[in-house]
Amino acid sequence: MDKNKVEKNEQSKLHAFLTGDRLKALLPLIGFVVILLVMHIMTNGKILTPKKMRLLLSQIYYPTIVATGVFFIMTLGSIDFTEGSTLGVASIVVSALSFYSIPLAIVGGILTGALIGAVNGFFHVKFRLPSFIVTICTMYLFRGVCAYFTTETAVPASNAIKALDQDWLKITITLAVLVIAFFLFKFTRIGNDVKAVGSGETAARFSGVRTARVKFLAFVSAGALTGLAAFVNVIKVGSITATAGNQLETQILISLVLGGLPITGGAKVRFSNIVIGTLMYAVLNSGLSILGYEPQVQQLIKGIVFLVFVALTIDRKALKVIK
């Protein structure tokens, strides 16, 4: 083959890689490495000390569990703003029931979260309301419930449940959730159905997917996982105040987008979006805290990073109004 043709072919392959989906798929991982290196340099290596690493990991257990549930909702092309209020209400239930039985407290938290998810799913599916409208409304509703029970005094948990604040337990629960969710997403029909609805609801319905049931169960499952995360939250904090779960929904949304999850959902989502995103958010959050920035400055920097990643990773061909 002519030398010039070989060079042109190589250049065209490089151009296709730089402008194609393969590079976009690698951007979250590249971004994580860049942010980790930048924070490592700016903090003079403090962020990677064993003590800081342990603190960093302790911040991602329950957000990772919550993000796993929201991952399925966002794969549908929908969104959920109730994670924070759901965590707050479920944490109150877990704390109250912990004086009777720890297993009862866990089940109570999961059922509370599933019930809130069912409310969201019912109004979204039955009345065909966009998910962001439904969940913004219920966010205020359940935030009000949380405030009602915690305004005068914090809701304490039993000493028995606080004694469970062990890293190995929280790691085990988090890994179990990730492994089960990964199996369901990759090797069962659930994952295909969720991606099919996210890619095109009408086409999915004509191909035999029961779209209404898939969407409803996604919200119920996400709520149940947030209820489980409430248990992990309670054993860590010990008592629940009105600010429990405050801004959690924003943290989860930013984490998943930083992890590369397209806000339009569909077939291009990857399960790794959860892990990379939550780690990236934790590194960014921890690094900015070590550097001593004021909360306002931290929010400003997070907002800039968030905007840059959305601009780089969004799939404009599939862009549409979020369901």
Tens digit of pLDDT for each residue in 282-311? Answer: 888 888 888 888 888 888 888 888 787 777
- Cα gap 241→146, rounded to integer Å: 8
Query: pLDDT digits over 47-101, tens only?
Result: 888 888 888 888 889 999 999 999 999 999 899 999 999 999 999 999 999 999 9
DSSP-derived pairing of the beta strands 155-156 and 239-240? antiparallel
Q: Are 116 and 223 in contact (CB under 8 A)?
A: yes
Q: What is the pLDDT of residue 86?
A: 94
Q: What is the pLDDT of residue 266?
A: 79
Under the banding of pLDDT at 50, 70 and 90, the label for residue 254 is: confident
Q: What percent of the chain has pLDDT over 90?
A: 44
Q: What is the pLDDT of residue 5?
A: 62
Q: What is the pLDDT of residue 251?
A: 87
Is 70 exceeded by the pLDDT of residue 191?
yes
Q: What is the mean pLDDT of residues 13-28?
A: 64
Is 80 exceeded by the pLDDT of residue 314?
no
Cβ neighbours around 182 below 10 Å, total: 16
- Cα gap 322→242, rounded to integer Å: 30
Q: Are 117 and 224 in contact (CB under 8 A)?
A: yes
Q: What is the pLDDT of residue 234?
A: 93
0.85 cut: is pTM over it? yes
The residue to which tokens 């890293």 are assigned: 167
Query: pLDDT digits over 212-237, tens only?
Result: 999 999 999 999 999 999 999 999 88
Q: What is the pLDDT of residue 65?
A: 95
Mean pLDDT is lowest, of 174-188, 250-264, 299-313, for: 299-313
Amino acid at 60: I
The three state secondary structure string of 78-138 is CCCCCHHHHHHHHHHHHHHHCCCCHHHHHHHHHHHHHHHHHHHHHHHHHCCCCHHHHHHHH
Task: Kindly provide the b/e burial profile for residues 122-158, where b requires at least 16 CB atoms within 10 angstroms of the residue's own CB.
Answer: ebbbeeeeebbebbbebbeebbeebeebbeeebbebb
Under the banding of pLDDT at 50, 70 and 90, the label for residue 273 is: confident
Is 80 exceeded by the pLDDT of residue 125?
yes
Q: What is the mean pLDDT of residues 140-167?
A: 89
Query: pLDDT digits over 113-123, tens only?
Result: 999 999 999 99
Q: Are 67 and 274 in contact (CB under 8 A)?
A: yes
At 296, which helix (H) or strand (E)?
helix 295-313
Q: What is the pLDDT of residue 135?
A: 94
